[in-house]
Amino acid sequence: MTILAVASQADAQVAARLFRGLAEPTRLALLTALLDGERTVNELVRAVGGKQSGVSGHLACLRDCGLVASRPGPGRSVLYRLAAPSLQTLLRAAEELLADSGHPVTLCAEPGGEQS
């Protein structure tokens, strides 16, 4: 499946789920915090804020979706990283898009909501 040539409604739903996962602010912050390489949960908590349990939950979601990979780190820690180089490309492209058209994006209505 490719997003540019979505063959079916099911393909479109899978692609939309990817973007819904990226649309959650904490998960997006975690992904961008991983752009420079592996980090532990404690490092990610410091980078994005929040409670360790919440960050761990978001990381589990991202891992289950195949966006983040993990491996044992020093001691009892776990190191998290982006699961695929294409995700880094996507996040960098989004950053460029926001730089080019950020103002209209900030005015965009919430999905399913009314635009004022």
Model pLDDT for residues 99-114, shown as the tens digit of each residue:
887 666 666 666 555 4
The model carries a pTM of: 0.79
Long-range contact set of residues 107-113: C-beta below 8 Å, sequence gap at least 24: 111/23
The pLDDT value given to residue 26 = 94
Distance CA 31, CA 67 (A): 8
Report residue 76 as tokens: 């009892």
| pLDDT 10s digits, 25-84 | 999 999 999 998 999 999 999 999 999 999 999 999 999 888 999 999 999 999 999 999
pLDDT confidence bin for 9, thresholds 50/70/90: confident
The pLDDT value given to residue 114 = 47
Q: Given a cut of 90, is residue 3 above it in pLDDT?
A: no
- Residue 72 three-state SS: strand
**What burial class does residue 90 get, using C-beta atoms within 10 Å of its C-beta: 0-12 exposed, 13-18 middle, 19+ buried?**
middle
78-82 β-sheet, strand order:
39-40, 78-82, 68-72
The pLDDT value given to residue 109 = 61
Q: Which residue bears the tokens 């991202």?
A: 62
Q: Given a cut of 80, is residue 6 above it in pLDDT?
A: no
